Amino acid sequence: MLRTRLNEALKQAMLAKNQRAVSTVRLILAALKDRDIAARSRGVTDGIDEAEILSMLQTMIKQRGESIKLYEQGGRLELAEQEREEITIIEGFLPKQMSDEEVAAAVKTVVDEIGATCIKDMGKVMAELKARYAGQMDFAKVSGTVKQQLSAC
């Protein structure tokens, strides 16, 4: 479904002559193709699944965020603005991000369901959250919420 949306977005951007959208969607599709090729060595012949695509998109957003900081430090504001535009386009393919309250509730639910009690269970909790909520939350921030709900053992 997401692959279809990406291909349709490319066509629409080309018809609208929106160069920034065309180049950004092409970058996404190229990264997707690279991931598909890499997945073949793991025996995945149909390409990566939706969760991995969403994770890839989030990684692309983080990379652009880091680039923005560097461009601003270097006084290259026009390049920082291009990166912001790309982030906006990429975010259009992600599902709605969960609020802090929704994240806390989801973490509590997963912790309760798998019976996690110690910080040693954090990996299990994070894996389950990534499986259920890929693309809907920032897992770097979520790790702090998980740590708060688990006690040190």
Tokens representing 26? 């092409």
The arithmetic mean of pLDDT across residues 61-65, rounded, is 94
Q: Which two tokens stand for residue 115?
A: 């019976």
Q: What is the CATH number of the domain that holds 146?
A: 1.10.10.410
Which residue type does 141 have?
K
CB-based burial label for 45 (10 Å; 0-12, 13-18, 19+):
exposed
Together in a domain, 46 and 3: yes
**Residue-wise pLDDT tens digits, 14-26:** 999 999 999 999 9
- Condensed to tens digits (0 to 9), the pLDDT of residues 40-56 reads 988 888 888 888 898 89
Q: Which phi and psi (to 5°) does residue 80 adopt?
A: -65, -40
Which residue intervals of 41-119 are DSSP H helices?
A: 50-73, 77-91, 100-114
Residues β-bridged to residue 118: 151
CA–CA distance, 153 with 139 (Å, rounded to integer): 23
| Residue 140, both tokens | 């770097």
Which structural domain range is residue 77 located in?
1-92
Per-residue pLDDT band for 152 (boundaries 50, 70, 90) equals low
Boundary (domain end) residue, out of 47, 75, 92: 92
Same domain flag for 88 and 105: no
Q: What is the mean pLDDT of residues 60-71?
A: 95
